[in-house]
């Protein structure tokens, strides 16, 4: 007689995973459409034209967007299109980390009561708070790697936890890096394929486009794997 329990719960879990990634894909498509319709690229081109001050201006702009609850995906894609994958990644990483740090400090010292009213009774946040108290920066890094929690809200909410500021900043910087690389690289590919305003671009050979495609596919694959591993680890710690 076979006493093994049925294993049907795996199907809903798989379906939920596909629905989540489908929603992320639709959100990314909407972001690209908005970025094409509004002069984000023009603004970033102006920033790039400011010479040595350009990195500082972009980092401050990105940090201000984080504090103001403005989704950073448009700026991240735009940075890839305008500045390229290397400089775009560096500047977005600096701006997002600075913005996350400022929002954390505001949540901890300035708007603590308002943030506590918003999240204090949320069972998910209570579980996160308890997990952070046990494991500190590890939970912060896993939260950054998982797309299940909105970036801008998380910046403020983590200010209520007992994680040390230094650990929060380092873990956030590390945890945000895969997503930053993915979106900046995607923005650089779009910038090559869809130039704005009649601007001319160097003609790419089929081999160069193939390298772009392989690089983008590899970046997406690594990001998906890392995100799944992070979500699994987070579920084990938070439940």
8 pLDDT band (50/70/90 cuts)? very low
In angstroms and rounded to an integer, the radius of gyration of the C-alpha atoms of the chain is 20
Mean residue pLDDT across the chain: 77
pTM: 0.73
Q: Is the pLDDT of residue 13 over 70?
A: no
Q: Give yes or no for a contact between 220 and 182, defined as CB atoms under 8 angstroms apart.
A: yes
* In the predicted structure, residue 110 carries a pLDDT above the cut 50: yes
Nearest to 154 by CA among 89, 66, 76, 88: 66
Lowest-confidence range among 54-68, 93-107, 194-208?
Answer: 194-208
- Predicted local distance difference test score (pLDDT) of residue 37: 52
Q: How far apart are CA 209 and CA 193, in angstroms?
A: 9
| Chain segment 60-71, per-residue pLDDT in tens | 999 998 999 888
List of residues 6+ apart from 166 with CB closer than 8 A: none
- Alpha carbon distance 201, 57 (integer Å): 25
Give residue-wise pLDDT tens across range 151-194.
Answer: 888 899 999 989 999 999 999 999 899 889 988 988 888 777 66
Q: Which residue has the higher pLDDT, 70 or 37?
A: 70
Instruction: Concatenate the DSSP letters of all residues of 208-227 into one string.
Output: HHHHHHHHHHHHHHHHHHHH
First-last CA distance in the chain: 33
pLDDT recorded at residue 19:
55
């Amino acid at each position: 007689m076979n006493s093994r329990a049925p294993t049907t719960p795996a199907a809903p879990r798989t379906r939920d995973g596909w629905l989540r990634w489908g929603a992320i894909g639709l959100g990314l498509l909407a972001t690209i459409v908005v970025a094409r319709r509004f002069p984000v690229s023009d603004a970033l081109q102006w920033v790039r034209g400011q010479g040595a001050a350009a990195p500082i201006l972009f980092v401050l702009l990105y940090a201000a967007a984080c504090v103001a609850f403005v989704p950073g995906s448009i700026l991240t894609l735009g940075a890839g299109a305008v500045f390229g994958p290397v400089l775009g990644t560096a500047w977005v990483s600096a701006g997002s980390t600075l913005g996350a740090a400022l929002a954390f400090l505001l949540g901890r010292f300035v708007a603590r009561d308002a943030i506590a009213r918003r999240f204090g009774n949320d069972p998910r946040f209570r579980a996160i708070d308890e997990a952070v108290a046990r494991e500190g920066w590890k939970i912060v890094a896993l939260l950054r790697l998982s797309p299940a929690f909105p970036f801008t809200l998380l910046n403020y909410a983590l200010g209520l936890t007992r994680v040390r500021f230094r650990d929060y900043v380092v873990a956030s910087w590390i945890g945000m890096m895969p997503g930053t690389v993915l979106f900046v690289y995607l923005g650089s590919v779009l910038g090559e394929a869809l130039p704005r305003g009649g601007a001319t671009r160097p003609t790419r050979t089929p081999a160069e486009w193939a390298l772009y495609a392989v690089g983008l596919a590899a970046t997406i694959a690594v990001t998906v794997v890392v995100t799944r591993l992070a979500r699994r680890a987070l579920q084990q710690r938070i439940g």
